[in-house]
Amino acid sequence: MANIRICAYTDKLSVKPGETLSVMASTDSADRVRAQLVRLIHGDENPDGPGFIEQAIASPIDREWPARKQYIQKGHFLHVADAGGKLAASGPITLHAYIFPTLPQAGRQMLLGRWSVDGISGFGLGINPSGHLEFWVGDGHATDAVAADVKLVAQVWYFVAVSYDPASGAATLYQESVVNRYNSLLSKIVPYDYRAHVTETLRVRPALPTDTSFLIGAATERNPARGAFFSQCYNGKIDRCGVQGAALDRAALDAIRAGGAPDTAHVLAYWDTAAGYTGHGIGDTVVDTGPYQLHAEGYNRPVRGQTGWNWNGRNDSFRLAPHEYGGIEFHNDALLDCRWEPTLSLTIPADLRSGVYAVKLTAGDSAAEEYTPFFVRAASPKAPVCLLIPTASYLAYANIGTAFDGALLQSITASTPIFQELDIEVYKNDVEFGLSTYDTHNDGAGVCYSSYRRPIINMRPKYRAPGIGTLWQFPADLSIVGWLEAMKYDYEVITDEDLQREGVAALAPYRVVLNCTHNEYYSERMMDATEDYLAQGGRLLYLGGNGYYWCVGFRDDEPWVMEVRKLEAGSRAWQARPGEHYLATTGERSGLWRHRGRPPQKLVGVGFTSEGMDISVPYRRMPDSYHRAVSWIFEGVEGEVFGDFGLGLGGAAGIEIDRYDLTLGTPPHARILASSEPFTDNYPLVQEEVYFMTPGLGGTQHPMVRADIVYFTTPNHGAVFSTGSIAWGSALPCANYQNAVSRLTKNIVDAFLTPGALPGSSYDADERHRD
């Protein structure tokens, strides 16, 4: 029997009873799948914990469903709405664009045109496999082309064009580097001639395929298995481009290259890629200012907010100089939405309790299985406790490819990573189903968008991070779910998506809110909502590490897509180019919240200080913990040292850790309840704290490499409890949830559930008043 593989995703992550959820699945070598609704309780198969726990829930989807292989369309491109065939090349024509190629020798790539790959018909201006600018035509039987005699150089701005007269067959290519601050520097110090001007008479006349669209950055192709799709996707930027209804001469093209507007008498289409910017970003529609309004729509969200051919380096945002930000960036490996057809749909039952669920898919007697997680909110909140699921951070790490970087893993874990056969299969799937914001595109540019409308292989229960030996993100967060179940708390779940959409109203109904293990990615609306919740008397348990770190953006109409730009600081796998630091989604500066004046210490008392994945360590109680204002927190916790156990590398403090720091905004009345025992030197001080490269930055030497447990009160009887460690949540299930970490957490939750003043708050208030 052939190996069966099932991959799936849902169209929503957060749903309420009565709403409908669709599951999109694809199978190899199977024509049916069996579905089962399950509630997820615990995701770690580690024998030191309770093991994997799921509960089957009876529902109408519990049966077999027809299934098939579904295909994926990768690549950025722009689709032009030209139903009337205005861009048909039936008469003289000129195609022109500013381009910034990044992989000019990565196979044939389309810039502008109407080309059928399988039908070998139409016309196109693009880059041939050898890296030369080329214009080609086809009549359905044969092709002919004219190519530049000078190769394109990667990461250089060019103005390129072709003038073509189908009556005579004369085609003239035009290739010139443009005059800007970046290119003028190259021309001063590099003795290289970027120009090419070539004229040929083409023997073949283009036959226009009626079912082939005009595209920017791709060509149309068909095969019997999948029908129409798009290939020959371009890598690089395209700035203002157009189609003229005349074969322009060199003087006319020189004028456009210098920044002049095309002669309106000949314009068929002119896509002003710098038009449409506002203080809140820009959308996916590229405006055609020509007479026919042939606007272009982005596919897989081509990256905007990028510098254009005329950027002079002085302005760092499209909000200041939108005319310098006409660059739209394309990548042939981009994927945001698989756009699969639904395999099945589920209307959430009215009596389904709020929690973490999945549709479990299996196929016959094979070992193949797939889980598609989703989160059910209460129709109207009633529980006093809320678990906030960090779906924004799940998106950031979705299908992370750097998890398979052996050298990186060895440096992080201080051991040789061992990959299992499953890891190899997962790696293949990750490449197929798109990238994470910790990866780079084929040309080395960072991935700034991520989406959940695709299978996310590492957002599955039981999934262990390759080479690290512990769970990460979603499956690790299920340990907190399991703890809430074991402690029999009345709780409900909401997601980052809900917080982004509703603001503080999503949190306000709850007396107590718990974060999960790693809520690293936050939008401005999410940050504001958290601050407002605390100001109104909310009580928050931050049970993780490296939270509230990166600034991200979402569109209200497409909440499944997140954008982030990695800037000059922070633990990052890539760095945005100069001038490209602002989110096209919202218009705001990305990077660290710390560098926008909102470090996490101001919000939850602690902030990121180090990471390491060799071991986790216990905590030691600090003098503050014995103060009568907070000593109740340690009732039932024996000894000064606790947390020397855990499913996350053997301790409660570790993996990624946070520290108390008054200089970064930790409230002055905050109590340091405990600090971690020393880490190894495999835990270096975080990069944003390093101003000079000196020895002594590791865990055995630097005093700032530590995890701090912090507690402080807020107005209106509110409070914050922060653990400063990702590993904390994975320590909760040990010894069947009967351990010091569990007891301490329960003491906090029980106290936070009690209305009115918190235990010891009168002592705290008296001391602050005397101070």
Instruction: State both tokens at 559.
Output: 């909440």
- What is the mean pLDDT of the segment spanning 712-725? 98
Average pLDDT in the 259-284 region? Answer: 95
Instruction: Write out pLDDT tens, residues 649-699.
Output: 999 999 999 999 999 999 999 999 999 999 999 999 999 999 998 999 999
What is the arithmetic mean of pLDDT over 457-474? 87
High-pLDDT (> 70) share of the chain, %: 93
Do 598 and 530 meet the contact criterion of CB atoms below 8 Å apart? no
Tokens of 523: 């939008």
Tokens 């500013």 correspond to what residue? Answer: 98
Collapsing DSSP to helix, strand or coil, 625 comes out as helix
Q: How far apart are CA 227 and CA 662, in angstroms?
A: 61
Predicted confidence (pLDDT) at residue 764 exceeds the cutoff of 70: no
pLDDT tens digit sequence for 191-246: 678 899 999 999 999 998 778 999 999 999 999 999 999 999 999 999 999 999 99
CA 746/CA 489 separation, integer angstroms? 10
Q: What residues does 254 pair with on adjacent strands? A: none
pLDDT of residue 367: 85
- What value, to the nearest 5°, has the Cα angle with vertex 58 and ends 55 and 60? 140
d(CA 395, CA 139): 45
Place of tokens 């700035």: 239
Mean pLDDT computed over 288-295: 97
Phi-psi region of 169 (alpha: psi -120 to 50; beta: other; left: phi over 0): left
With CA atoms as reference, report the closest residue to 710 among 663, 746, 676, 753: 676
Query: SS3 for 554?
Result: strand
Span 510-520, mean pLDDT? 98
- Summarised one tens digit per residue, pLDDT across range 23-37 is 999 999 899 999 999
162 DSSP assignment: E
- Determine the average pLDDT of the residues in 520-530: 98
Is the predicted pLDDT of residue 427 greater than 80, yes or no?
A: no
pLDDT classification of 398: cutoffs 50, 70, 90: very high
pLDDT for residue 421: 63
- Summarised one tens digit per residue, pLDDT across range 309-343 is 999 999 999 999 999 999 999 999 999 999 999 99
Across residues 636-644, what is the average pLDDT?
A: 98
| Rounded CA separation 111/468 (Å) | 42
Task: Tell me what the mean pLDDT of segment 41-69 comes to.
Answer: 96
Task: Assess whether pLDDT exceeds 60 at residue 187.
Answer: no
Cα dihedral sign, 596-506-54-458: negative
What is the distance between the alpha carbons of residues 305 and 350, in angstroms, rounded to a whole number? 44
By three-state DSSP, how is residue 252 classified? helix
The pLDDT of 142-161, averaged and rounded, is 97
Q: Is the pLDDT of residue 189 over 70?
A: no
DSSP label of 379: S
pLDDT value of position 771: 45
What is residue 1's predicted lDDT score, i.e. its pLDDT?
A: 41
**Whole-prediction pTM value?**
0.96
Distance (Å) of CA 178 to CA 100, 217, 308, 328: 10, 20, 11, 17
Averaged pLDDT score across all residues of the chain: 94
The predicted structure's pLDDT at residue 417: 72
Which residues are CB-neighbours of 21 under 8 A, at least 6 positions away? 10, 11, 12, 15, 345, 346, 347, 348, 374
Average pLDDT, integer, range 528-549: 98
Domain parsing of the chain, residue ranges: 5-67+344-378, 77-330, 388-753
Residues 6+ apart with CB under 8 A from 49: 42, 479, 647, 733, 734
Amino acid at 125: L
- pLDDT of 184 reads 54
Per-residue pLDDT at 637 exceeds 50: yes
Amino acid at 351: D
More confident residue, 70 or 180: 70
For range 344-353, the mean pLDDT: 98
For residues 360-367, average pLDDT: 91
Q: How would residue 181 be classed by pLDDT, with cut points 50, 70 and 90?
A: low
Q: How far apart are CA 665 and CA 678, in angstroms?
A: 24
Q: pLDDT tens, 596-605?
A: 999 999 999 9
Tell me phi and psi for residue 768, to 5 degrees.
Answer: -65, -35
DSSP 8-state assignment for residue 245: S
DSSP, residue by residue, 717-741: TEEEEE--BTTHHHHTTGGGG-SHH
Phi then psi for residue 474, to 5 deg, are -55, -55
The predicted pLDDT at position 770 comes to 46
Architecture of domain 77-330: Sandwich (2.60)
pLDDT for the residue 211: 84
Could you say which of 2.60.40.1930, 3.40.50.720, 3.30.465.10, 3.20.20.120 is the CATH number of the domain covering 5-67+344-378?
2.60.40.1930
